[in-house]
């Protein structure tokens, strides 16, 4: 009788991990899905708790993109979305009780959840380190995703009810090592400080822009250029670099830029003196000079931009 009661209790105990994992993976879907749609310009701007522009800085950094060319932009958040979707689908299959807990397929599905969440947790820890030590910015949505991944990983060990710990530890370690190695290689590859096209130190040019541009930012930059709105800057000016970082590398290529430093590469020093530029960065809008770094929304208002301003 006692043995029967124990089996019933264990059977009930295995239900709650599925429910919690399903809830956590659904939150992860909303989190990563919103970021992905925002990167594709299909979702309005996200309200990110914490430091101003922190999320924008992190998500638009080189580490925020998996692949990009002139036609395709695949943000890193899409990989997270696929991960949470996979876990949710597997959890739903397990919750429907179509497969007996004793069948190998049931065990295989639990192994999948465990290994996927292990890989996701490991990669999330790597991304958190990159965020704080490389990008040096704070993104609430990224930290939330890391917490969700780690929580699913812990609960999967309980819900799977593995008969032996040795295979779990061995496979978990193998996944962790593989993801860390692959993640570090990827991180170093996209790190702008390791770029092969870093300018020669003898060339007085502005630092390389490391952020990526949304379609809205590119369109806005083209509007500024078409309306002869000029950005005056100096290669040594950190605020000028901050201004360009707000636009991103793709949008900056569309801007009308003037280098004002006398020793800067391709400078137009005489023009800057004629315009009376004495502070950097400076914007020339309809013949009037505005000095200082401007938020893109403020710049859009000042220039009368009527396009999509969800930067």
- Answer for the pair 87, 116: CB distance below 8 angstroms, yes or no: yes
- Do you find a cis peptide bond into 53, omega within 30 degrees of 0? no
Q: What is the pLDDT of residue 51?
A: 58
Say how far residue 303 (Cα) sits from the centre of its chain. Answer: 29
Residue 5 has pLDDT above 50, yes or no: no
pLDDT band with cut points at 50, 70 and 90 for residue 205: confident
Where do we find the tokens 């990008």?
135
pLDDT over 60 (residue 199): no
| Digit-coded pLDDT (tens) for 128-140 | 999 988 887 788 8
pLDDT in tens, 159-168: 988 888 899 9
At residue 219 the predicted structure's pLDDT band, cuts being 50, 70 and 90, is very high
CATH numbers and ranges of domains, the chain: 2-194 (1.20.1440.130), 215-303 (3.40.30.10)
- Rounded CA separation 216/200 (Å): 32
Region 248-264: mean pLDDT is 93
Q: Write out pLDDT tens, residues 267-284.
A: 999 999 999 887 889 999
Amino acid 136: pLDDT: 79
Of residues 263 and 80, the one with the higher pLDDT is 80
Tens-place pLDDT, residues 45-88: 667 776 555 676 787 777 888 886 656 778 899 999 999 999 99
Residue 222 has pLDDT above 70, yes or no: yes
Name the β-bridge partners of 290: 283
H-helix or E-strand spanning residue 112: helix 104-130
143 close to 128: Cβ distance less than 8 angstroms: yes
Q: How confident is the model at residue 299 (pLDDT cuts 50, 70, 90)?
A: very high
Question: Mean pLDDT over all residues of the chain?
Answer: 86
117's tokens: 């969440």
- Tell me the C-alpha distance between 97 and 74, whole Å: 36
Instruction: Please indicate whether residue 139 or residue 119 has the higher confidence score (pLDDT).
Output: 119
């Amino acid at each position: 009788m006692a043995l029967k009661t124990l089996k019933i209790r264990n059977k009930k105990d295995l239900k709650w991990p599925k429910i919690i994992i399903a809830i956590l993976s659904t939150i992860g879907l909303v989190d990563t899905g919103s970021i992905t749609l925002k990167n594709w310009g299909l979702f309005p701007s996200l309200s990110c708790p914490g430091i101003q522009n922190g999320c924008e800085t992190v998500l638009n950094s080189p580490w925020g993109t998996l692949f990009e060319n002139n036609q395709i932009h695949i943000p890193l958040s899409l990989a997270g979305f696929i991960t949470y979707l996979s876990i949710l689908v597997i959890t739903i299959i397990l919750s429907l009780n179509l497969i007996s807990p004793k069948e190998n397929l049931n065990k295989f599905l639990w192994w999948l959840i465990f290994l996927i969440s292990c890989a996701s947790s490991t990669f999330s820890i790597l991304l958190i380190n990159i965020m704080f030590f490389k990008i040096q910015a704070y993104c609430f949505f990224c930290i939330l995703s890391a917490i969700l991944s780690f929580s699913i990983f812990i609960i999967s060990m309980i819900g799977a009810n593995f008969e032996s710990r040795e295979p779990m530890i061995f496979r978990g370690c193998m996944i962790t090592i593989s993801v860390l190695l692959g993640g570090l290689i990827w991180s170093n590859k996209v790190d702008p400080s390791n770029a092969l096209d870093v300018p020669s130190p003898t060339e007085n040019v502005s630092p390389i822009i490391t952020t990526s541009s949304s379609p809205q930012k590119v369109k806005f930059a083209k509007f500024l250029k078409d309306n002869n709105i000029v950005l005056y800057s100096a290669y040594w000016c950190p605020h000028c670099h901050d201004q360009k970082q707000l636009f991103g590398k793709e949008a900056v290529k569309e801007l009308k830029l003037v280098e004002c430093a006398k020793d800067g590469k391709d400078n137009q020093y005489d023009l800057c003196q004629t315009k009376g530029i004495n502070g950097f960065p400076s914007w020339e809008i309809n013949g009037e000079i505005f000095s200082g770094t401007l938020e893109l929304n403020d710049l859009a208002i000042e220039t009368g931009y009527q396009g999509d301003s969800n930067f």
